Amino acid sequence: MAARELGLLRVDVQVHLDDPARPDFSFAYDRQANLAAEEFSSQKAVHAVCKEFAIECGFQIFVKQSSIKPDNPGNVKYECKKLNGVQFFDTDSPDDKL
C-alpha cells in the first residue's frame, strides 16, 4: 500500500479493500491512531508526501483556507477533491505523473 511506503500509515494496520459491504472497508485513519511514527524534516516535506499519495489515489489536495498571524507562521486548512478522470492541475509535476 502506498501510504505505508510513504511513511504515512503504520505497518501493522489492516486495511480491508476487498469487500465494500464491510463497515471498516478502506478505513485506516482512526483519529490519528494509525498514523505512522515517521518523522519528517519539515511541514513542506509532509505536504509533498501527502501530495504524492493523493495523486496515486486519484484525488487532489488543495488549500481551502489559510490564516496568518503576525507572531507565528499561521494555519492552513486543506481539502480533497476526487478527480474522477479530470486532469490534476499542478505545474510542478511532470506530465507522466498526471
* Per-residue pLDDT tens over the stretch 46-70: 888 888 888 787 777 777 777 777 7
* Total structural domains within the chain: 2
- Please indicate, yes or no, whether residues 49 and 28 belong to a single structural domain of this protein: no
State the CB neighbour count (10 A cutoff) for residue 64: 10
- Please indicate, yes or no, whether residues 34 and 51 belong to a single structural domain of this protein: no
Residues 74-97, mean pLDDT to the nearest whole number: 65
- Please indicate, yes or no, whether residues 67 and 34 belong to a single structural domain of this protein: no
Q: Does 92 fall in a domain?
A: no
Q: Does 53 fall in a domain?
A: yes
Domain of 70 in residue numbering reads as 43-86
Q: Does 15 fall in a domain?
A: yes
Asked if the model's pLDDT at residue 90 lies above 80, the reply is: no
Alpha carbon of 29 to those of 72, 74, 89, 96, 97: distances in Å? 28, 25, 26, 29, 26
Q: Does 33 fall in a domain?
A: yes
